[in-house]
Amino acid sequence: MKNMTAMATSVLVDGNVEDEKRALESFQAREEEIEKKKMQVRNKLEFQLDRAEEKTRRLAKVWEELEFLKDPMGKEIAMVRKKVDKANHELRSLGQSCKKKEKEYREAMEAFHNKKEDKNKLKVTLVELVNESEKARLKKLQELSKIIDPSD
């Protein structure tokens, strides 16, 4: 990290293009490494969550069997628990899908707004160009009128 700070300071003082490129490449490489490690941690976490859910399901089955020995309603309880587990799994999947679609929506809205801003800037430029063109044409017409009728 000290090396990067020294390199960045050197780049600012010397203004060496090669140093700037190296600093940028180093920064990008570090960013990519961070992103890669982030994805690895995320994958490991999801794997462990899946394992924990599987263990939870197995323990729930064992629990159901123990409860069935105590409770004559154990079968109905077990069915309801299975339905709750299934609903929980479906909710998790739907939640992930919803987050993905929300992100896509935000990105599309941002792109839409950017294009709208670009269009508005182009419209302003067009109006300015038309006004300048009209002024130039009027000036030229006045000059031509003076040439034709010098008494004005």
Give the per-residue pLDDT at 152.
58
- Residue 21: half-sphere exposure toward Cβ, Cα within 13 Å: 3
State how far the Cα of 64 lies from the Cα of 78, in Å rounded to an integer: 6
CA 60 to the chain's CA centroid? 38
Name the DSSP class of 107.
H
Q: Computed over its alpha carbons, how large is the radius of gyration of the chain?
A: 35
Provide the pLDDT confidence category of residue 65 given band limits of 50, 70 and 90: confident
Q: What is the pLDDT of residues 88-132, one digit of tens each?
A: 999 999 999 999 999 999 999 999 999 999 999 999 999 999 999
pLDDT over threshold 80, residue 30: yes
